Amino acid sequence: MSRRSGILEFAVLGLLRESPMHGYELRKRLNTSLGVFRAFSYGTLYPCLKTLVAYGWLIEEPGHTPEDALAAPLAGRRAKIVYRLTAEGKEHFEELLAQTGPDAYEDEHFAARFAFFGQTSRDVRMRVLEGRRSRLEERLEKMRASLARTRERLDDYTLELQRHGMESVEREVRWLNELIESERAGRDLKGPASGGSAQQNNTSGAPGVLPRPGDTPGTDTPDDTAT
């Protein structure tokens, strides 16, 4: 399993833990709550869902409302498929939440983990945040060393680009310092009372949740029938 597909499976399980969803609704949540997944297409999502069903972590059900069940035959179409987390899937997701290895500190994986911090224990949150900070401090040190070696050979625009990259890393380190301080003080981030974890943790400054240039949300054609 590739790292990127593993992140997608983690996010799918986390969102379905909140409530069952159609494939279209699920991808919409992946796009809006976890901006890191904007590049995933339906051609990537549905094979992932099929894999999770095969593992026994999800089950497929007909449309979850009476309207869904009645509308499909009348329209000559099959009922929409709803994906629901099984008890085994919930247990597996909780195991994934407890993991604090090096993968949790990488850019995309960290963004996904942070989105579900509302379902994560404080001690695990602390380990992930501190690991991420350590990783970025190492990255920043290497960037500074590289800039010092190559400064005189760079034109002004390339130099400015490297400075911009360093400033971005420095901002995230400061953001992580604030989060770690809050966690140590026993303060939780607060979101809408009715919001799920992935929604309430879409915090300003978090990596992987900002819109990307050229993105046009809502242009995909939904296809939630069984395949």
Q: What would the pLDDT profile of 33-51 be if each residue is shown by its tens digit?
A: 665 555 566 778 899 999 9
84 lies in the same domain as 163: no
Higher pLDDT, 39 or 104: 104
Which pLDDT score is estimated for 113?
92
What is the per-residue burial (b if ≥16 Cβ within 10 Å, else e) of 35-60?
A: bbbeebebeebbebbebbbeeebbee
CATH number for the domain including 69?
1.10.10.10
64 lies in the same domain as 26: yes
User: Would you give the distance in Å from CA 97 to the centre of its chain?
Assistant: 12
Q: How far apart are the first and last CA of the chain?
A: 22
With a cut of 90, say whether residue 143 has pLDDT above it: yes
In a domain, 110, yes or no: no
Question: Where do we find the tokens 């991420």?
Answer: 132
Name the percent of the chain lying above pLDDT 90: 52
In a domain, 62, yes or no: yes
Task: Note the pLDDT tens digit of each residue in 111-137.
Answer: 889 999 999 999 999 999 999 999 999
Q: How many residues does the chain have?
A: 227
Q: Tell me the whole-structure pTM to 2 decimals.
A: 0.72
67, two tokens: 């309207």
Whether 79 and 72 have beta carbons less than 8 Å apart is answered as: yes
Domain region containing 35: 1-100
Three-state secondary structure call for residue 12: helix
49 lies in the same domain as 135: no
CA–CA gap between residue 65 and residue 132 (Å, rounded): 42
Query: For the chain, where are the E strands, in sequence order?
Result: 21-22, 58-62, 81-85
Name the percent of the chain lying above pLDDT 70: 69
151, two tokens: 């400064």
CA angle 120, 37, 139 (to 5 degrees): 75
Higher pLDDT, 199 or 176: 176
Domain boundary among 100, 133, 162: 100
Domain boundary among 100, 130, 153: 100
- Strand partners for 59: 84
137 lies in the same domain as 91: no
- The structural domain count of the chain equals 2
85, two tokens: 């987390």
Beta carbons within 10 angstroms of residue 5's beta carbon: 14
